[in-house]
Structure 1
Amino acid sequence: MRFRISLLHAFTLYTIMMSETSSYLQIHPVDNVWVALKNLPGGTLIKHNDDVFELVTPVEAKHKFTISTLNTNDEIYMYGVLVGKASQPIARGAAITVNNVYHASTDFTLGERKTTWEKPDTEEFAKKTFMGYHRSNGEVGTANYWLVIPLVFCENRNVTVLKEALYTRLGFEKPKGYEQEVSDLIEMYKAGKTVEEILSAELQQSSPQQQSFKLFPNIDGVKFLNHELGCGGTRSDSDALCGLLAGYITHPNVAGATVLSLGCQHAQTDILRAEIQKRDPQFNKSLIVLEQQQMGTENKLMKEALRQTFAGLMQANQLQRSPAPLSKLCIGLECGGSDGFSGISANLALGYLSDVMVALGGSIILAEFPELCGVEQDLSDRCLNEPMAQRFMHLMRTYNAQAEAAGSGFYANPSPGNIRDGLITDAIKSAGAAKKGGTSPVTDVLDYPQKVTQPGLNLLCTPGSDVESTTAEVAAGANIVLFTTGLGTPTGNPIVPVIKLSTNTALLNRMPDIIDIDCGPIISGEETIQQTAHRILNYVIEVAGGNIKPKAVLLGQDDFIPWKRGVSL
């Protein structure tokens, strides 16, 4: 059975529930390729309007097939936009692949403003609150962390030594390790077991280590942000690093920070302080900055860092959670390990959630600019004013040109896993990825590593690379990150809860240790997009209030990678 989702009217889209017997899907009325919702063998009958035709090739779930014969260079449409062209003749009812399709997208120009939108019903959430940490500048955190940061990679070792000295002794929860498994292997080796016996042995599962105490109960942890930048690269890279680190230090989830500087690097402490003032002119958090070359011995540096950090933790522990409106949430949207269902389940659910949050006065961050290729016209038209639209278009063109100068444009963004699961061109991937941003007007366009200052939908220039993009969204102010995945991506962030959403139920069943919420019921027809979005938002409220820890937090997935501009897609 065929099922059509029309994107001509956003809320027609949001009110559709897929039939449980649907086996293929037309997303937009002008699309000339459709999506298989399950594996379809060759010969499957497809109904198109009043016509019926057969699939001439098998089509795997998540992949697409043609509904008309295509000649070489004929255009291919999905989501109502150009997503590719035929590289050779393609028969009606054939699967499209990297062997018969190449990337293509429509150019974009400055158009008319299209900023009217139909706000969703927010009655269910209008009076809801979350228990957050209120900061003196009016921002509200969903957690309370202390940071230890190297201003240059030369200080990474010292930061690691501080971590070893502080973490367990303060009673912070240690993520699950595999010490028991290693002990088992050692005992088998001592007992004279052969290589074959060890490879076939069943290892015992380690039990999570239980902490007998937590010295500072109102602090969620001390986080250590090692990186490989700060010197040796371009001055623009070190300046951007200072801006990124300033975003973390001023973040509402952070109570204070200890910064270790060598002294001679490009990323100078005065640059960091200027970036902090730019983001928070009334900055009054505890900030400890220590320079090793100025202080002398490592021993002196480390003792002073420990003493001042401990005093800072004593002060940070005095803050407690209290109610905050949902408008204080700034949600970063991310997708990684995307598949052919991303743009018709999880991303659409986040699109509806984004519209709800905007209507409530909250902030949304849509990033990953390489994955907005092909939908630039829609997003630029939705910008509140022309200068904002021009800024977005300039960032997109400049970024793509830099990527091409380095030997690769946006067209090269899809990974082998993306392609294997149905996203065979960047424009196909982008058309589905952009749905996370919903339908509201764009209230600001930010370049990396700027901070969100406006409520509503913000566009932030970041790479498509998952960790680099998430790292940047948090620096911009996201205090929750919603991360959709179709293939499974084990990543998180040191200071912000990252909630993982599977696009399909099979992924939840295969990797339940990393998935928090399943959006597969949209595909099976068990839930509408609105129902899934409401389920996600209720979960977000519990996470923001500290009542639920997402899997990324429980696993200690503290991934932090600053963007070295112009290198990453």
Structure 2
Amino acid sequence: MSIQKETFLRIHPHDNVLVALQNLEQGTEINFEGNTFTLADRIAAKHKFAINELKTGQEIYMYGVLVGKTTSTIPQGGLLSTQNVHHASDGFRLGERKLNWHQPDTRSFDSKTFNGYHRADGSVGTANYWIVVPLVFCENRNINVLKEALVDKLGYKKAKSYEGDVEQLMELYQAGKSVEEILNADIQASAEKADSKRLFKNIDGIKFLNHSMGCGGTKDDSDALCGLIAGYITHPNVAGATVLSLGCQHAQVSILQAEIAKRDPNFNKPMVVLEQQKVGTESELLKQALKQTFAGLVQANQNQRQPAPLSKLCIGMECGGSDGFSGISANPALGYVSDLLVTMGGSVILAEFPELCGVEQELSDRCVDEETANRFMQLMTTYNARAEADGSGFYANPSPGNIRDGLITDAIKSAGAAKKGGTSPVAAVLDYPEKVTKPGLNLLCTPGSDVESTTAEVGSGANIVLFTTGLGTPTGNPITPVVKLSTNTAMFERMPDIIDINCGTIIEGDETIQQAGERILNYVIQLASGEVEPKSVKLGQDDFIPWKRGVSL
């Protein structure tokens, strides 16, 4: 059988492998650049096959970079797999600055603005939240008590509840139904209506940021936690905060206050800080927290949306549950969004340093100066060395799901993940949990773990997060809208409750990367103005996981 070229793709002219865009059966005839050969194996969509025979030890190139080496001979048309390929990537060094790039045409966006919440420090929020956060895990229970007291009464309960499902299951059990009958029962989720009569019309919600840190770890971790929390308190999407401290923990109030001052020297948001060991009884602590928080909400409710230029957007670029299409559909579409926003004076954050393995040379060469390039290379080298010391370097990054869907080495995954950063120069390199202070593309050192990385990007100032996924990832953030973008149409149609935007149109040839990027940015403008609500917000996906770099003591 013969197929058209659109069923497979060569990503870069220097690549010696092709990507299957659909399932290709063994024996399928491939016509590529005037040569014809048949597939030696069945190639599932998203997986790769050899253009020519690859001998043992031969280098494999994708996206124009080294992504692996063969561990055994792969015949022409043969499948690349973990059985015949292992991770490999090029080294990197300080090179020449490569700062020339083709800025995209932004004329269609020049007159556009978004309606956001203007803060005293000049930043603009895409939402208006009050946060309640503990400085140490010992206060998690008190945070939960405050949540139970405030959320429902003030009208912030999410619409969908599964309590009705449980009631139906109870009725079946009480009626004497068997286990098999219960499992086969058609239960209907009771759709409770959210309270449309919110007391505070201009406050989007009260968010509770429980975590498992603050004491029992290294001083570096507790200091970083204070920096992260300071990033959330000073974040443009946050109107004010309630902070609960026990008193004796490593993460002290004084450290938090110093981190807040570092990020915003003229900080003037309403903030409640209570220390349980000073206040005394738990009852008194909670009463004071409720009264002072309520008073702060009254102040925060005075904020209203006003027009702002697109340069006030700071977009975090994230991926999770990636597949073999991530690097050729959704990720490069985000890269085009990045270039559009940078051209207009906005800020972009590219994180997940383990997923930049293999593209270090390109990114370091794109850094605006040698100091910035050296910092990036130093962070990458140190991070990988610490990972290897623990028995798991960057090479171990791909998950079973990544591998199953074609990302068989970390370098393959990384080369595709880096496409989210577009082509613009790197304006700054930040170590967790530093704040973005420069417009342009910022590289932020975070883990590849998507929730930890998203948590960090928001702490550094992202007021929108664009999150690509090929397998489906149900995650969000308490204060910043997280937009999910699918890399393929099948997953978009299978998981419509968590995915906002389909980029599978690129794979199918219905849309170019540039067209998809412009469509995404138009959606972002609506979202930033509060005109649309992403699925992560509707579902209340408020994931908050600080990065713990050190050990428990």
Range class of TM-score, shorter chain: over 0.9
Q: CA deviation at 1:564?
A: 0.3
Write the distance in 1 (CA, Å) between the matches of 2:240 and 2:363. 37
Secondary structure of the structure 2 residue equivalent to 1:124 = helix
Residue matched to 1:351? 335
- 1:137 is aligned, of 102, 107, 121, to 121
- 1:91 is aligned, of 72, 75, 78, to 75
Residue matched to 1:255? 239
Residue matched to 1:463? 447
8 Å Cα contact 1:402-1:566 kept in structure 2: no
Secondary structure of the structure 1 residue equivalent to 2:6 = coil
Write the distance in 2 (CA, Å) between the matches of 1:424 and 1:206. 43
- 2:377 is aligned, of 369, 384, 393, to 393
Secondary structure of the structure 2 residue equivalent to 1:245 = helix
Q: Are 1:167 and 2:151 counterparts?
A: yes
- 1:34 is aligned, of 18, 22, 29, to 18
Write the distance in 2 (CA, Å) between the matches of 1:71 and 1:344. 27
Secondary structure of the structure 2 residue equivalent to 1:22 = helix
> In structure 2, what residue type is equivalent to 1:502?
S
CA offsets per residue over residues 457-492 of structure 1, 9 Å max, x none?
000000000100000000000000000000000000
Secondary structure of the structure 1 residue equivalent to 2:109 = coil
How many residues matched?
Answer: 551
Write the distance in 2 (CA, Å) between the matches of 1:98 and 1:323. 52
Secondary structure of the structure 1 residue equivalent to 2:104 = coil
Taking only aligned residues, the RMSD between alpha carbons, in angstroms, comes to 1.3
Write the distance in 2 (CA, Å) between the matches of 1:181 and 1:562. 33
- 1:74 is aligned, of 53, 58, 75, to 58
Write the distance in 1 (CA, Å) between the matches of 2:462 and 2:278. 35
Counterparts of 1:188-337 in structure 2, within 5 Å, are: 188-337=172-321
Q: Are 1:43 and 2:27 counterparts?
A: yes
Write the distance in 2 (CA, Å) between the matches of 1:128 and 1:549. 19
Q: CA deviation at 1:47?
A: 2.1
Write the distance in 2 (CA, Å) between the matches of 1:114 and 1:256. 42
Q: CA deviation at 1:566?
A: 5.7
Write the distance in 2 (CA, Å) between the matches of 1:94 and 1:205. 48
Q: CA deviation at 1:177?
A: 1.8
Residue matched to 1:6? none
Residue matched to 2:542? 558
Secondary structure of the structure 2 residue equivalent to 1:213 = coil
Q: Are 1:364 and 2:348 counterparts?
A: yes
Q: CA deviation at 1:176?
A: 1.6
Q: Structure 2: give runs of 5+ residues left out of the alignment.
A: none
Secondary structure of the structure 2 residue equivalent to 1:189 = helix
Residue matched to 2:470? 486
CA offsets per residue over residues 180-221 of structure 1, 9 Å max, x none?
110000000111111111011111122142315100000000
Residue matched to 2:457? 473
Q: Are 1:545 and 2:529 counterparts?
A: yes
The two structures have a TM-score, normalised by structure 1, of 0.96
Q: CA deviation at 1:116?
A: 1.1
- 2:134 is aligned, of 138, 147, 150, to 150
- 2:101 is aligned, of 95, 108, 117, to 117
Residue matched to 1:380? 364
CA offsets per residue over residues 238-277 of structure 1, 9 Å max, x none?
0000000000000000011000000000000000000000
Write the distance in 2 (CA, Å) between the matches of 1:2 and 1:113. 46
8 Å Cα contact 2:218-2:550 kept in structure 1: no
> In structure 2, what residue type is equivalent to 1:55?
L
Q: CA deviation at 1:97?
A: 0.2
> In structure 2, what residue type is equivalent to 1:202?
D
CA offsets per residue over residues 36-60 of structure 1, 9 Å max, x none?
0000011111223221111111100
Residue matched to 2:47? 63
Q: Are 1:450 and 2:434 counterparts?
A: yes
Write the distance in 2 (CA, Å) between the matches of 1:300 and 1:182. 35
Counterparts of 1:2-17 in structure 2, within 5 Å, are: none
8 Å Cα contact 2:115-2:306 kept in structure 1: yes
> In structure 1, what residue type is equivalent to 2:383?
Y
8 Å Cα contact 1:175-1:556 kept in structure 2: no
8 Å Cα contact 2:89-2:411 kept in structure 1: yes
Residue matched to 2:170? 186
Q: Are 1:523 and 2:503 counterparts?
A: no
Q: Structure 1: give runs of 5+ residues left out of the alignment.
A: 4-18
> In structure 1, what residue type is equivalent to 2:23?
N
CA offsets per residue over residues 323-362 of structure 1, 9 Å max, x none?
0000000000000000000000000100111000000000
- 2:480 is aligned, of 488, 496, 501, to 496
Residue matched to 1:14? none
Secondary structure of the structure 2 residue equivalent to 1:470 = helix
Q: CA deviation at 1:536?
A: 0.5
Kindly tell me: are residues 2 and 76 of structure 1, through their superposed partners in 2, closer, same or farther at Cα, counting changes over 3 Å?
farther
> In structure 1, what residue type is equivalent to 2:381?
R
Q: CA deviation at 1:68?
A: 1.0
8 Å Cα contact 1:399-1:566 kept in structure 2: no
Which ranges of 4 or more aligned residues in structure 1 deviate by more than 6 Å?
Answer: none
Residue matched to 1:11? none
> In structure 2, what residue type is equivalent to 1:362?
G
Write the distance in 1 (CA, Å) between the matches of 2:77 and 2:336. 32
8 Å Cα contact 1:2-1:23 kept in structure 2: no
Kindly tell me: are residues 139 and 433 of structure 1, through their superposed partners in 2, closer, same or farther at Cα, counting changes over 3 Å?
same
Secondary structure of the structure 1 residue equivalent to 2:474 = coil
Write the distance in 2 (CA, Å) between the matches of 1:563 and 1:446. 15
8 Å Cα contact 2:161-2:189 kept in structure 1: no
> In structure 1, what residue type is equivalent to 2:469?
T
Q: Are 1:434 and 2:407 counterparts?
A: no
Write the distance in 2 (CA, Å) between the matches of 1:175 and 1:566. 39
> In structure 2, what residue type is equivalent to 1:282?
N
Write the distance in 2 (CA, Å) between the matches of 1:256 and 1:398. 36
8 Å Cα contact 1:2-1:22 kept in structure 2: no
Write the distance in 2 (CA, Å) between the matches of 1:67 and 1:186. 59
Secondary structure of the structure 2 residue equivalent to 1:62 = coil
Secondary structure of the structure 1 residue equivalent to 2:493 = helix
> In structure 2, what residue type is equivalent to 1:31?
D
Identity of aligned residues (%): 71
- 1:407 is aligned, of 380, 383, 391, to 391
8 Å Cα contact 1:2-1:24 kept in structure 2: no
Secondary structure of the structure 1 residue equivalent to 2:108 = coil
Secondary structure of the structure 2 residue equivalent to 1:323 = strand
Q: CA deviation at 1:175?
A: 4.5
Write the distance in 1 (CA, Å) between the matches of 2:94 and 2:550. 25
> In structure 2, what residue type is equivalent to 1:146?
W
CA offsets per residue over residues 432-453 of structure 1, 9 Å max, x none?
0000000000000000000000
